[in-house]
Amino acid sequence: MKRSLLVTAIVVAISSSAMAQTDAYCRRFESRMQPGQLYQARCADRDDCLVPVSAAIKKDENHRFLYRTGTSQPVQNSLAVVQLKYVGISPQIKPSNVALSRQQVNFGCYGWRKRAYVYPAISAEAEEMGRAAEVSYDNYDQFYRYGYSAPSDRSALQDFHVRRYHNGSACVYTDSPERAGQFLFERRNDVPGFFRTAWRRSGIQEAVGPALAQPSNDLLKYQRLHVYLANYQKRPDAAGCFSFPVQGRGSSIEIAISDVEENVRARTYGSSPPSWTVSVY
pLDDT tens sequence across 124-140: 887 788 889 999 999 99
Whole-number Å distance between alpha carbons of 227 and 205: 29
Mean pLDDT of 80-96: 94
The mean pLDDT of the chain is 86
pLDDT confidence of residue 214 = 79
Mean pLDDT, residues 216-235 taken together: 95
Question: pLDDT per residue over 126-175, tens digit each?
Answer: 778 888 999 999 999 999 999 999 999 999 999 999 999 999 999 999 99
Check residue 119 and give its pLDDT. Answer: 96
Assign 13 a pLDDT band (cuts: 50, 70, 90).
very low
Q: Are strands 133-135 and 164-166 parallel, antiparallel or unpaired?
A: unpaired
- From 107-121, 171-185, 188-202, 252-266, the region with the lowest mean pLDDT: 188-202
Q: Which amino acid is at 162?
A: V
Label residue 23 by pLDDT band (50, 70, 90): confident
Judged on CB neighbours under 10 Å (0-12, 13-18, 19+), 99 is buried
Contacts of 267 (CB under 8 A, 6+ apart): none
Judged against a pLDDT cut of 50, whether residue 16 lies above it is answered with no
pLDDT (tens digit, 9 = 90+) per residue, 28-87?
999 999 999 999 999 988 888 999 987 789 999 999 999 999 877 789 999 999 999 999
Amino acid residing at 188: R
pLDDT score of 212: 61
CB atoms inside a 10 Å sphere around CB 93: 5
Which band of pLDDT confidence, cut at 50, 70 and 90, is reported for residue 19?
A: very low
Report the C-alpha gap between 241 and 77 in whole angstroms.
11
Predicted pLDDT at 197 = 52
- Written in H, E and C, the secondary structure of the chain is CHHHHHHHHHHHHHHHHHHHCCCHHHHHHHHHCCCCCEEEECCCCCHHHEEECCCCECCCCEEEEEEECCCCCCCCEEEEEEEEEEECCCCCCCCCCEEEEECCEEEEEECCCEEEEEECCECCCHHHHHHCEEECHHHHHHHHHHCCCCHHHHHHHHHHCCCEEECCCCEEECCCHHHHHHHCCCCCCCCCCHHHHHHHHCCHHHHHCCCCCCCCHHHHHEEEEEEEEEEEECCCCCCCEEEEEEECCCCEEEEEEEEHHHHHHHCCCCCCCCEEEEEEC
Whether the Cβ atoms of residue 31 and residue 63 lie closer than 8 Å to each other: no
Cα separation of 119 and 109, whole Å?
A: 10
CA 15 to chain centre: 25
Percent of the residues in the chain that have a pLDDT greater than 90, as a whole number: 69
Q: To the nearest whole percent, how much of the chain has pLDDT over 70?
A: 85
pLDDT value, residue 209:
43
pTM score, whole prediction: 0.85
Residue 8 banded pLDDT, cuts 50, 70, 90: very low
Q: pLDDT value at position 126?
A: 77
Nearest residue to 273 (alpha-carbon basis) of 162, 262, 247: 262
